[in-house]
Amino acid sequence: MGGTSGADSIQPVSLRRGMGLRRILILIILGAGLWAFIQLNLTPADLIPNPGGLQVAGKFFSRALSPALTYEAEFVPANTQPLLWKAIQAAGTTVVFAAAAMSLALVAGLILGFLASTAWWVGDPAGGRSATVVFLRRSVAPIIYGSTRVLITLMRSVHELLWAVLLLAAFGLSHLSAAVAIAIPFGGTLAKIFAEMIDEAPRDVAEAYRGSGASSTQVYLLGLLPRALPDMIAYAFYRFECALRSSAILGFFGYPTLGFFIAASFENLHYGEVWTYLYTLFFLVTVVDWWSGALRKRFAV
Amino acid sequence: MFHLNGASVTYGSTVALDSINLQIRPGEAVGFVGLSGAGKTTLFRLLNGMVRPTRGTVQVNGNSLASLSLEELRQVRAQIGFVHQDLSLIPNLRVLHNVLAGRLGRLSLWQGARTLLFPPRSCVNEVYEILQRVGIPEKLYQRTDRLSGGQRQRVAIARALFQRPKGLLADEPVSSVDPARARSAVSLLTQISREEGLTLCVSLHNLELAREFFPRLVGLRKGRIAFDRATEEVKEEEFQSLYDLGAANGGGTSDREE
């Protein structure tokens, strides 16, 4: 802020107008933030926790360095599996749900991403002179990618937890509804980003292949897509990490993923167990991150 | 091989090429000189069937471009190899696959995909032989982005040769490498074209190279042909006239730096 007004005083006269607009915009954004605070009745006093809450938080965080290796409950039924084995199983279920969701999301993302991109409408520079082609390009193409974009936005604008609530109400606690709940918003996000990556990929190779007589389909599939593919793979891996977290959280609805056990242990005040499950999740995300990093290095441009 | 008669290309109100008359016989080697923006790239795209003339006619191997369907145009393109200024290679693919892609124009979608994914023995051998000719056989299975600029350029030439072309176009092929490499690249292009009987057109910023390697030179200036004759008959003033636009800050010399 100080920098803005300082710079303003030495701006040439011709730039004054632009700076004025920018200042108005900053004021509007600040005003909106202030209004939100007032609406929510946020005061500095809210930052001071009540003593009870502080105690719980203290107990919880004090276990961070000593996660439980065995159950904290006083009575454990004889045939119960060991805690660590249970954590591993929950991690496995979390991965399975995330993988199922990502597979669906990838299919949706690739198809919708293709339809929402504009690169496939770029015709041959020496062709496309016939009236039908021109008509199709001017009328049908905008309808297809326009409506696809609307669909993608609808998918993305509802969070996976909300989709889960809706699908659970409709289909009950089925495995498919969990996978689909994650797959819908993830498919939308993948489609949006894939479309952008395809449209922004360098066209040099595509042009070269076209110049050597390749068909438009060859040009698109073998000349343009490979240029976008490294970025698309890296992004898909990042989304897989996000899917792991979402899959864990779906446990709150009763699916046997990490979230289910985290919630159960938390309710029983078994904070050591909570940390065991949290570290398992942390480990999962780290493994995926490391794996995607290794692959990215292989595909790197 | 190429026959242009009053060929013009306009983009909107911009005239890229203005009434070009040009005839290039099969097996000829022609150098094209002129400033950036003089129309060299558009002219090459015209010879390659990537652009159709707005006015006039362009014949490639006796086919008039204006009357061809897109399918026939693709067959004409497949007969002409093109070495691009930016090389247009896929960096994260192996040299083998980048070269194999040169033949896509002669293959169906399915055949092309199969050749790239599971290259048949015969194709691999052929790529290896071509790489031998351009001097980098040991790079067959190397990733393309691990190669030096000069080696990558040879990959681009190899890809154009694997296309089994009748003509070879190279648009500023040496603007991105150092002078010694530039010389050997132009030398390679002319030598291979001679041995294979290919028609060769190369556009060059570098006048010395153009004079050394090409018996015939075409000078382009503002979309028109300034001169078109045997290299030894081109006068020094004519070369200078190409660079008139840049005369204020030293004209010709600045172009030789590239």
- In the numeric block, which tokens belong to residue A301? 């441009």
Is residue B228 within a helix (H) or strand (E), and if so which, with residue range? strand B224-230
Nearest Cα of chain B lies from the Cα of A253 at a distance, in angstroms, of 44
pLDDT in tens, A77-133: 878 888 888 899 999 999 999 999 999 999 999 999 999 988 877 677 776 556 777
Looking at chain B, how many residues does it have?
A: 258
CB contact under 8 A, A127 and B93: no
- Give CA–CA dist B124/A281, Å, rounded: 47
Q: Chain B interface residues facing chain A, Cβ-Cβ under 8 Å? A: 45, 48-52, 65, 70, 73-82, 84, 86, 88-93, 101-106, 109, 112-113, 116, 145, 160, 163
Q: Note the pLDDT of residue A4.
A: 45
Place of tokens 């069937």: B49
Q: Which of A127, A204, A222 sits opposite B70 (nearest CB)?
A: A127
Residues 6 or more apart whose Cβ sits within 8 Å of residue B230: B215, B216, B217
Cα separations (Å) of B29 from B1, B43, B162?
Answer: 12, 16, 20
> Which DSSP state fits A79?
T
Q: Which residues in chain A are closer than 8 Å to B163, comparing Cβ atoms?
A: 212
pLDDT band at A18 (very low <50, low <70, confident <90, very high): low
> Which DSSP state fits A224?
I
- Give CA–CA dist B232/B12, Å, rounded: 38
Q: What is the DSSP string of A189-214?
A: HHHHHHHHHHHHS--HHHHHHHHTT-
- Give CA–CA dist B244/B122, Å, rounded: 52
Beta bridge partners of B63: B60
Q: Chain A interface residues facing chain B, Cβ-Cβ under 8 Å? A: 124-127, 204-205, 207-215, 217-218, 221-223, 226-227, 230, 299-301
- Give CA–CA dist A161/A249, Å, rounded: 8
- In the numeric block, which tokens belong to residue A68? 């439980």
- In the numeric block, which tokens belong to residue B30? 């022609």
Q: Note the pLDDT of residue A230.
A: 86
Residues 6 or more apart whose Cβ sits within 8 Å of residue A246: A98, A101, A160, A161, A182, A186
Place of tokens 């062709």: A127
Q: What is the ipTM of this complex?
A: 0.85
Q: Round the average pLDDT of chain B to a whole number and report it.
A: 84
| C-beta neighbour count of B61 within 10 angstroms | 15
Q: Note the pLDDT of residue A57.
A: 86
**Residues B64 and B16: beta-carbon distance below 8 Å:** no
CA B113-A186-A261 angle, 5° bins: 125
Nearest Cα of chain B lies from the Cα of A113 at a distance, in angstroms, of 22
Which of B145, B214, B227, B155 is closest to B186 using CA atoms? B214
**Residues A264 and A68: beta-carbon distance below 8 Å:** no
Q: Note the pLDDT of residue B211.
A: 87
| C-beta neighbour count of A148 within 10 angstroms | 20
Q: Note the pLDDT of residue A17.
A: 55
- Closest-CA residue of B relative to A226 is B90
- In the numeric block, which tokens belong to residue A251? 């446990």
Q: Round the average pLDDT of chain A to a whole number and report it.
A: 85
Q: Note the pLDDT of residue A128.
A: 53
CB contact under 8 A, A211 and B112: no
Q: Note the pLDDT of residue A10.
A: 54
> Which DSSP state fits B220?
E
Percent of chain A with pLDDT over 90: 36
Q: Note the pLDDT of residue A13.
A: 52
Q: Note the pLDDT of residue B245.
A: 56
**Residues B53 and B10: beta-carbon distance below 8 Å:** no
- Closest-CA residue of A relative to B70 is A127
pLDDT in tens, A140-181: 888 888 899 999 999 999 999 999 999 988 888 888 889 999
Q: Note the pLDDT of residue B257.
A: 35
pLDDT band at A262 (very low <50, low <70, confident <90, very high): very high
Burial class of residue B156 in the structure, from the number of CB atoms within 10 Å of its CB (0-12 exposed, 13-18 middle, 19+ buried): buried
Residues of chain B with pLDDT under 50: 246-258
Average pLDDT over residues A204-213: 90
DSSP-based three-state secondary structure for B27? coil
- Give CA–CA dist A67/B177, Å, rounded: 60
Looking at chain A, how many residues does it have?
A: 301
CB contact under 8 A, A217 and B52: no
Nearest Cα of chain B lies from the Cα of A298 at a distance, in angstroms, of 8
Q: Is the pLDDT of residue A14 over 60?
A: no
CB contact under 8 A, B70 and A299: no
pLDDT in tens, A233-261: 889 988 999 999 999 999 888 888 999 99
CB contact under 8 A, A213 and B74: yes
DSSP-based three-state secondary structure for B134? helix
> A133-142, A263-272, B39-48: lowest mean pLDDT where?
A133-142
What's the CATH code, domain A83-299? 1.10.3720.10
Average pLDDT over residues A60-73: 84
- Closest-CA residue of A relative to B89 is A205
Place of tokens 């299975």: B141
- Give CA–CA dist A237/A285, Å, rounded: 11
Through-space distance between the first and last CA atoms of chain B, rounded to whole angstroms: 30
What superfamily would CATH give domain B1-79+197-258? P-loop containing nucleotide triphosphate hydrolases (3.40.50.300)
CB contact under 8 A, B90 and A126: no
CB contact under 8 A, A213 and B112: no
The three-state DSSP-derived secondary structure of B30-41 is EEEECCCCCCHH
| Domain spans, chain A | 2-47, 83-299
Q: Which of B92, B104, B145 sits opposite A222 (nearest CB)?
A: B104
Average pLDDT over residues A288-301: 77
CB contact under 8 A, B51 and A126: yes
Place of tokens 């909107």: B12
CB contact under 8 A, A213 and B93: no
Q: Is the pLDDT of residue A31 over 90?
A: yes
- Give CA–CA dist A106/A110, Å, rounded: 6
**Residues B100 and B115: beta-carbon distance below 8 Å:** yes
The model carries a pTM of 0.78
- Give CA–CA dist A271/A53, Å, rounded: 14
Q: In what order do the strands lie in the sheet with B29-33?
A: B80-83, B167-171, B199-204, B29-33, B216-221, B224-230
Nearest Cα of chain A lies from the Cα of B18 at a distance, in angstroms, of 18
Q: Note the pLDDT of residue A181.
A: 93
